[in-house]
Amino acid sequence: MKHLITLLSLLFCVMVSSQNETKTITEIDLDSIPSNSINKYWLQIIDDGMSQPISVPVIIAKGDTSGPVLGLIAAIHGNELNGIKVIQEVFDDIDVKNLKGTIIAIPGLNQVSITQDRRRFFDDEDLNRQFPGKASGNRSQQYVWQITHKILSKLDYLIDMHTASFGRVNTLYVRGDMANPKIKQMTLLQDADIILKNKGVPSAGANSSATRTMRAEAMLKGIPTITVEYGNPQIYQPEMISRGVVGIKNVLNWLDMQSFEIPELNKAKICTKSYWIYVDQGGLLEIPVKLNQIIEKDDVIGILRNPFGDIIKTYKSPEKGIVIGKSTNPVNMSGGRIIHLGILED
């Protein structure tokens, strides 16, 4: 009897392991995926130092073939986690039997850095400044080249999902080229606090070999793309996540891929440009303004003290604007960030 119980226990473990096993692929072949199904894969990107594949998670919801392919990509920086949860919750509500088109989601693009609680890639490069990558380049360049050819090449539309970096916090804001009708619509459909008008592509005549962001690369390939910043790094924020889900469902409605009931959207403020303001001395920084706060010219935005508590310098806003993001780390050497100031559209 004891041996029988052991045998049954081992059989149960094998069955559970088989059910939880996720297929590993080297390419995304949409033609081989059956319609009206959701499939999960590990997509091989490069190899590690032990000759083992480094793979990223891929979730593909394929409905009928009458609709477009929408890409949802989260965490090209390893500390940008809110987008991962946004993708998971969107897929919880997908009715694949009534889906028109396909959703390709990557809930964790920078696999190496996510597992190490770091932002940049293994070689300390920013993956989002390396596109289109190089097939025979260094580590980050080869990783990005694989993303360009294995993922971006499959998409018709893209939502590029980010957060602030370490030591900073963000509003929920969207960067998009508002002169492009499709991108403008995708931008307006997000439940954002702020919309930042931003073309995001190299100017005409720019060096074609120059590196650029994933959004710029996708747009150069003719893929309407927006970048959404969902709050803060290295945490899950329920409010940001739920608002992110609303934005993606809105896009699915607009593309006629699936129908969702959507709550009333936040009325986003539109900015024509933005820039960071920096300290020019080192010290301990206090920032008395809040995210989404509209500030006037000469409002105090930063108070810099030395270790003894003496005020070294007070920083004021150079013009009227809105606080898109700000530093949360009091310790700043010369050149440290104070606030990300958005200039409101008239």
Could you tell me if residue 4 is inside a domain?
Answer: no
**Nearest-angstrom CA–CA distance, 324 and 303:** 19
- Omega of the bond prior to 132 within 30 degrees of 0, cis? yes
Q: Which amino acid is present at 202?
A: P
**Nearest-angstrom CA–CA distance, 12 and 5:** 10
Side-chain-facing half-sphere of 19: CA atoms under 13 Å? 6
**Nearest-angstrom CA–CA distance, 288 and 281:** 18
According to DSSP, residue 77 is labeled S
pTM of the model: 0.91
- The CATH number of residue 27's host domain is 3.40.630.10
Could you tell me if residue 326 is inside a domain?
Answer: yes
Whether residues 246 and 281 share a domain: the answer is no
Whether residues 184 and 59 share a domain: the answer is yes
Whether residues 278 and 243 share a domain: the answer is no
Whether residues 36 and 175 share a domain: the answer is yes
Whether residues 250 and 279 share a domain: the answer is no
Could you tell me the residue range of the domain that residue 339 belongs to? 274-344
Could you tell me if residue 29 is inside a domain?
Answer: yes
Whether residues 236 and 293 share a domain: the answer is no
**Nearest-angstrom CA–CA distance, 16 and 327:** 46
Output the pLDDT for position 20.
55
Domain boundary among 254, 284, 317: 254
Domain boundary among 197, 222, 254: 254
Whether residues 127 and 249 share a domain: the answer is yes
Alpha helices in 24-150 (DSSP H): 82-92, 111-114, 139-150
Whether residues 119 and 30 share a domain: the answer is yes
Whether residues 284 and 249 share a domain: the answer is no
Could you tell me if residue 37 is inside a domain?
Answer: yes
Could you tell me if residue 193 is inside a domain?
Answer: yes
User: Which residues are paired to 337 by β-bridges?
Assistant: 278
- The CATH number of residue 305's host domain is 2.40.50.100
Number of domains in the chain: 2
Whether residues 27 and 104 share a domain: the answer is yes
Could you tell me if residue 266 is inside a domain?
Answer: no
Whether residues 169 and 306 share a domain: the answer is no
Task: Give me the long-range contacts of 309-314 (CB less than 8 A, separation at least 24).
Answer: 312/281, 312/283, 313/279, 313/280, 313/281, 313/283
Output the pLDDT for position 19.
41
Could you tell me if residue 3 is inside a domain?
Answer: no
pLDDT block averages, 10 residues each, the chain of length 346: 47 41 95 96 95 96 95 97 98 97 98 94 93 96 97 98 97 97 97 95 56 96 98 97 98 97 91 98 98 98 98 98 98 97 95
Could you tell me if residue 143 is inside a domain?
Answer: yes
Whether residues 313 and 243 share a domain: the answer is no
